[in-house]
Amino acid sequence: MEEVVINTGDTAWMLISTGLVVLMIPGLALFYGGMVRVKSVLNMMMMSFGALAIVFVLWIAFGFSMVFGDSVGGKGLIGDIGQFTFLNGLDNSAAIIGTIPAAVFIAFQGIFAAITVALISGSIADRAKFGAWMVFAGIWATLVYFPVAHWVFAFDNFVAKTGGWIANDLGALDFAGGTAVHINAGAAGLALALILGKRVGFGKIPMRPHSLPLVMLGAALLWFGWFGFNAGSAVASNGTAGLALLNTIGATTAAVLSWLLVEKIRDGHATSLGAASGVVAGLVAITPACAAVNASGALIIGAVAGALCALSVGLKFKLGYDDSLDVVAVHLVGGIVGTIMIGFVGVDVGLFNGGGTGQLVKQAIGAGAVLAYSFIATLIIGKIVDLTIGFRITNDQELAGIDVAIHAERAYELTDNSQGSVLGFSKGA
Amino acid sequence: MKLITAILKPFKLEDVKNALQGAGITGMTVSEASGFGRQGGHTEVYRGAEYTVDLIPKVRLEVLVDDKDADSVVDVIVKAASTGSIGDGKVWTTPVDQVIRVRTGERGVDAI
């Protein structure tokens, strides 16, 4: 029997990639936090940090097993929760998955789960009880992310013998999570925005971003971390990782240009918020496709995603749902663009590259299945949380600001006085 | 005694302050303010959503003067603050009953 040994080059890259994807959590927290008003920036950031905390603990307990355990009954729907419970047999320095230590693969994939949940929080800014969000995050990860990630990321004979139906039976291409992460989070964001309803004054009073430099910094950190997300999804230090990295820059820069072009034509101004949003739209769209397209394909995907996402941000006002930070317009639309366009510009498999329509149909089925399951399951989970413990804070709390009302703290000491503000404070109760 | 209050364009503050110091004024209070008059606001756009911002940033400058100096000080402020374009602000005076210097307890014109 061939001796299995780790590849140190692969291991080094995956250790770095894991660190990079962890950085996406504060990146997202800043990206979202800068976009809300002063009175709710801390709650916005806490939803990302909270999602990481609850989801990663569940990941160790049973999440990894539900995603990468042997498919129950070979149906490709869900992994065996009992196989790697509490990482049984894998949480030691000798266990290997692929060519790297099992521990590294487990940590890397666990952050994907956390990021996906954190992305959803953008649709419910300013108005969700923190405890309800944490309960929702745990249930949603368990009932939506873990199954869907099994469908998409669990390849036969990699961690376990049998994997998920989208990866193995359908054969839809999703390199780093256009379906499992972005369509999944985007559809859930739409469902949750519908469950929670609009913020007080939505569409009537200005809800301007309180700090665009924070948004720009967050977008930059996301981009940096995304190299781990996309190029790390090669689970190897090789040419595939290199191509994914190149495309992660190409698509993103093209998306910035097209988002700004739409803004200039539609609104008369190219904005910094548009540039930051274009960065994320491009990153989202290239996520499933980064190893399936060449550089030209990446530019096309990025350009299309930037334009379509920019055109989609107005939908919420027309249709009347308060997807506060445009999770739908950026992640759902961007995820669909990237996933579907593999069917057009994918090397060898795309319609424009002589691959016929076969892959395009597979991509559409994969995207549609994840969208439908996530949307319906999230509606049910969100409704149950709302009916039992209540999802929304009161209108008075919302008007006062969720940071003070729920977390008992404020983001900024906005004064020039070196002694700090003396207004509005008294010691003790 | 009179309190002169001036609402100015922020970038004119330095000119007005220098002109007042040149005219022998030894103290003033300046605060950031916002408001609107004939100038109106401006439009901002975030992800395609347009917001009209009515309240625009201004500076409020306050000076205490003796009655006999009020008119000339007002003239100094108006001359220094003027750009000739809309939004240059306003200056007004109000009578003041009493002024006390906290450190010495001096009252009236001596405290100015």
Smallest CA–CA distance, residue B46 to chain A, in Å, is: 7
Mean of per-residue pLDDT scores for chain A:
95
Q: Residue A118 sits in which domain range?
A: 8-394
How many domains are contained in chain A? 1
Distance, in Å, from the CA atom of A214 to the CA atom of A249, rounded to the nearest integer, reads 21
Question: Which pLDDT band, with edges at 50, 70 and 90, does A427 fall under?
Answer: low
Distance, in Å, from the CA atom of A137 to the CA atom of B86, rounded to the nearest integer, reads 54
Q: Read off the pLDDT of each residue in A398-415 and give the average, rounded to a whole number.
A: 92
Measured between beta carbons, the chain B residues lying within 8 angstroms of A274 are: 47
Q: Read off the pLDDT of each residue in A361-383 and give the average, rounded to a whole number.
A: 98
Question: Which pLDDT band, with edges at 50, 70 and 90, does A46 fall under?
Answer: very high
Q: To 10 degrees, the CA torsion angle through A7, A11, A17, A18? A: 140
Residue A108 included in any domain = yes
Smallest CA–CA distance, residue A114 to chain B, in Å, is: 27
- Determine the residue among A266, A271, A324 to mutate to test chain B binding: the one whose Cβ has the most chain B Cβ atoms within 10 Å: A271
Residue in B with minimal Cα distance to A276:
B47
pLDDT tens for each residue of B23-59: 999 999 999 999 988 877 888 999 999 888 888 899 9
Q: What CATH number corresponds to the domain at position A359?
A: 1.10.3430.10
Q: Read off the pLDDT of each residue in A55-70 and give the average, rounded to a whole number.
A: 98
pLDDT score for B40: 77
Residue A409 included in any domain = no
Residue in B with minimal Cα distance to A325:
B47
| Res A1 pLDDT > 50 | no
| Nearest beta carbon to residue A313 from set B44, B48, B50 | B48
pLDDT score for A429: 43
Q: Read off the pLDDT of each residue in A323-333 and give the average, rounded to a whole number.
A: 98
Q: Read off the pLDDT of each residue in A221-248 and give the average, rounded to a whole number.
A: 98
pLDDT score for B53: 85
| Res A417 pLDDT > 60 | no
Question: Which pLDDT band, with edges at 50, 70 and 90, does A410 fall under?
Answer: very high
Q: Which amino acid is at A126?
A: D
Q: At which residue do the structure tokens 């994907």 appear? A: A112
Question: Which pLDDT band, with edges at 50, 70 and 90, does A5 fall under?
Answer: confident
pLDDT tens for each residue of A94-121: 999 999 999 999 999 999 999 999 999 9
CB contacts < 8 A (A, B): 30
Q: Read off the pLDDT of each residue in B1-8 and give the average, rounded to a whole number.
A: 97
B47 and A273 within 8 Å at the Cβ level: the answer is: yes
Question: Which pLDDT band, with edges at 50, 70 and 90, does A16 fall under?
Answer: very high
pLDDT score for A206: 86
Residue in B with minimal Cα distance to A274:
B47
B47 and A206 within 8 Å at the Cβ level: the answer is: no
Smallest CA–CA distance, residue A313 to chain B, in Å, is: 7
Percentage of residues of chain A with pLDDT beyond 90:
94
pLDDT score for A349: 95
Measured between beta carbons, the chain B residues lying within 8 angstroms of A313 are: 47-49
| Res A425 pLDDT > 60 | no
Closest CA to A87 of A65, A72, A116, A111: A65
Backbone angles phi, psi at A241, to 5 degrees: -60, -40
Residue A306 included in any domain = yes
Smallest CA–CA distance, residue B72 to chain A, in Å, is: 33
Distance, in Å, from the CA atom of A176 to the CA atom of A182, rounded to the nearest integer, reads 10
Distance, in Å, from the CA atom of A401 to the CA atom of A391, rounded to the nearest integer, reads 16
pLDDT score for A203: 87
| Nearest beta carbon to residue B47 from set A206, A268, A277 | A277
**Which residues, numbered 6 to 65 in chain B, qualify as contacts with chain A under a Cβ-Cβ cut-off of 8 Å?**
44-51, 53
Q: Read off the pLDDT of each residue in A226-254 and give the average, rounded to a whole number.
A: 98
Distance, in Å, from the CA atom of A17 to the CA atom of A108, rounded to the nearest integer, reads 7
Residue in B with minimal Cα distance to A211:
B46
B45 and A326 within 8 Å at the Cβ level: the answer is: no
Mean of per-residue pLDDT scores for chain B:
94
Smallest CA–CA distance, residue B26 to chain A, in Å, is: 23
Smallest CA–CA distance, residue B11 to chain A, in Å, is: 19
A267 and B45 within 8 Å at the Cβ level: the answer is: yes
Domain ranges of chain B: 2-111
Measured between beta carbons, the chain B residues lying within 8 angstroms of A215 are: none
CA atoms A286, A290, A292, A293: torsion sign: positive
How many angstroms separate the Cα of A347 from the Cα of each of A19, A151, A186, A291, A354? 30, 23, 27, 9, 9
B48 and A209 within 8 Å at the Cβ level: the answer is: no
| Res A165 pLDDT > 80 | yes
| Nearest beta carbon to residue B46 from set A208, A266, A268 | A208
Measured between beta carbons, the chain B residues lying within 8 angstroms of A273 are: 46-47
Question: Comparing A1-10, A13-22, A339-348, which segment has the lowest mean pLDDT?
Answer: A1-10
Architecture of domain B2-111: 2-Layer Sandwich (3.30)
Residue in A with minimal Cα distance to B51:
A206
Measured between beta carbons, the chain B residues lying within 8 angstroms of A268 are: 45
pLDDT tens for each residue of A280-324: 999 999 999 999 999 999 999 999 999 999 999 999 999 999 999
